[in-house]
């Protein structure tokens, strides 16, 4: 079967840097994705890592280590609008081509 | 503008009724998906479809049914067999298999059993 583990909550202040970790267990591996969801809204795609290393997109970066079955999302220069839930997701052989999502990490940014 | 439209935004169902949630996309995406979201549970996969007239069960398909007669449409029926249907339902689509290019989500339907 498949499973993803990520912290349930993270808090930080404006301007800080925060890292949200994700460990996964899958039958086969086809990349790690990250999504952001504001309260009551639709999830939006942030990043995708198929190979080891760091991918940077503006203030957000995502890292993958396939040998450790581990990845993280790094958010820099935090802003109040970054307060949201963040989900890691993987594809698994048992789910065909669909993504399996973690339970999400709620990030609260304070001033 | 291209996107995914889910309707209605809010839906109330009486016990024992079937209800159908609409999902339409004009992104020309081949794959479409239905997820259910409960507080603290993340997104759980109900059904997915890679091509027209084909769909597969996800982890929590019991009590749900789908159809994929057109590329643009992937409606979800919540049947009376679903014992706890109150939840937030999200439809998504993607251009590539496996989400490498990312899913596009609709704005969701919040279903409440009254």
B42 contacts on A by Cβ (under 8 Å) = 87, 101-104
**Res. A43: pLDDT tops 90:** yes
Q: Which residues of B touch A96 (CB under 8 A)?
A: 48, 50, 56
- Say what the pLDDT of residue A2 is: 73
Report the residue from B35, B98, B103 with minimal CB separation from A45: B103
Nearest CA in chain B to A31: B100
Q: Specify the pLDDT at position A98.
A: 87
Tell me: the pLDDT tens digits for A71-100? Answer: 999 999 999 999 999 999 998 777 777 899
Which residue shows structure tokens 């109900």?
B46
Identify the CA nearest to A91 among candidates A9, A30, A18, A15: A30
Residue range B96-105, pLDDT digits in tens: 655 566 899 9
Which chain B residues have any C-beta within 8 angstroms of a chain A C-beta? 31, 33, 35, 40-45, 48, 50, 56, 58-59, 90, 92, 97-108
pLDDT, residue A94, reads 72
Inter-chain contacts counted by CB atoms under 8 A, chains A and B: 68
Interchain proximity B102–A103, CB inside 8 Å: no
Q: Is the pLDDT of residue A16 over 90?
A: yes
Residues A17 and B71: their CA atoms lie apart, in Å, by: 42
Say yes or no for a CB contact (<8 Å) between B50 and A100. Answer: no
DSSP string, A7-18: -SEEEEETT--E
Q: Mutation test of the interface with chain A: which of B3, B29, B98, B104, choosing the one with the most A Cβ atoms within 10 A?
A: B98
pLDDT at A30: 85
Which pLDDT does position A26 carry in this prediction?
86
pLDDT of residue B99: 54
* Residues lower than pLDDT 70 in chain B: 1, 96-101
Q: Report which of A10, A14, A3, A1 is spatially closest to residue A73, judged by C-alpha positions.
A: A10
pLDDT at B29: 92
């Amino acid at each position: 079967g498949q499973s993803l583990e990520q912290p349930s909550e993270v808090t930080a202040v404006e301007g800080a840097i925060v890292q949200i970790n994700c460990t996964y267990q899958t039958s086969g591996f086809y990349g790690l994705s990250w999504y952001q969801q504001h309260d009551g809204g639709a999830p939006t795609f942030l990043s995708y890592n198929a190979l080891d290393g760091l991918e940077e997109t503006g203030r957000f970066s995502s890292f993958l280590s396939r040998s450790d079955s581990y990845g993280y999302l790094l958010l820099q220069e935090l802003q109040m609008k970054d307060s949201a839930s963040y989900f890691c997701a993987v594809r698994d052989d048992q789910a065909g081509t669909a993504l399996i999502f973690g339970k999400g990490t709620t990030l609260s940014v304070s001033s | 503008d291209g996107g995914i439209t889910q309707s209605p935004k809010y839906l109330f169902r009486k016990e024992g009724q079937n209800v159908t949630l609409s999902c339409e996309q004009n992104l020309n995406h081949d794959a479409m998906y239905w997820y259910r979201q409960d507080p603290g549970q993340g997104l759980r996969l109900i059904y997915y479809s890679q091509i027209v007239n084909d769909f597969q069960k996800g982890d929590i398909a019991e009590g749900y049914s789908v159809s994929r007669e057109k590329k643009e449409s992937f409606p979800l029926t919540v049947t009376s067999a679903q014992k706890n249907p109150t939840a937030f339902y999200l439809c998504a689509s993607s251009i590539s298999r496996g989400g490498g290019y990312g899913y596009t989500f609709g704005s969701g339907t919040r279903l409440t059993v009254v």
